[in-house]
Structure 1
Amino acid sequence: MKIVIIDSFALIHRVYHALPNFTTSSGEPSGAVYGFCSTFLKVLQKFNPDHVCAAFDDGSKPTFRKELAPLYHANRPEKDASMIAQIEVIKDFLRAMNIPIYIAPGFEGDDVIGTLAYRFSSQENAEIIILTGDYDTLQLVNKTTCVFTMRKGITDTILFDENAVHEKYGFD
């Protein structure tokens, strides 16, 4: 069973900054929506998964890490208002496509992804593909889980399986 888990915020952040000048005909920013949807459709075509789900950060309250260490992510800039608005459009798109959205209060999307990958890996013939815009989830790569991400822009992509991680970083 082939499952794609979308690291939604990492992907949105990546495509938002890769396509900063995309707008609708009325001038509304749309780079994140366009980039997310086009990448999502490319992944569906490339991998033909049996199931897809999306993980998001919970922005309603501080994460447990922030509560333990108040300086955690202290230097991160605030999210742009136009990116936040596009996140809601992307969630609407996922709901329209009947893609389950997973959010865990007090946890980051990466925590949710790790939990989902672990649980799905027990399925017979599990093949898990994490679609992301960064390299944070490479630590989850194993015999059943790989990471599909971008090297540059949104079209230069790479699939990290165990061999690719070893080749690039020299460890298993």
Structure 2
Amino acid sequence: MGQRPEADVITLTLPARAEYVSIARLTVSGIANRMGFPYEDIEDIKLAVAEACTNVVEHAYDCPQGNDQLRLSCWLLADRLVVEVRDKGKGLPLEDRQEAPAPIRPDVDIDEVKEGGLGLYLIHSVMDEVQVSSNDGVAVTMTKYLQRDEVSCDDRAISKA
């Protein structure tokens, strides 16, 4: 990952097992709440992180071992939260990396929908920016911008009647 602006960084390493996904969700929920994100954005961030962590649990390791891990890193910047979910698993096949996530088409019967890929589609739909890289495992980097009220703190900007 490239150089980031100065930020507080929180990193958590968890076993790559389903029972620990809720800890990742709780962690980002607390961070986003502390940063001042509204409830709807916090729910979106939790959903995206849960999907990324679930992808690690279900797909990263061929023969899951007790020491398989996922790493959750959060960069708290003034205007955004950047969350990365990383594993040291098998990586993504080249064709999966090139294929952009797409919504389920209404003209396709639900029984014919290919399993997988919906998680990445959901992540893309609720986060402002998403990057997926496959180098020594997979890293999903998700950004949510903090929308602040447009009210100025400068009293010169307020008209006096």
Identify whether the pair has TM-score above 0.5, normalized to the shorter chain: no
Q: TM bucket by the smaller chain? A: under 0.3
**Rg bigger for which structure?**
2
Q: State the structure with bigger RCO (CA 8 A, min sep 6), 1 or 2.
A: 1
TM-score normalized with structure 1 length? 0.25
Higher helix fraction (1 or 2): 1
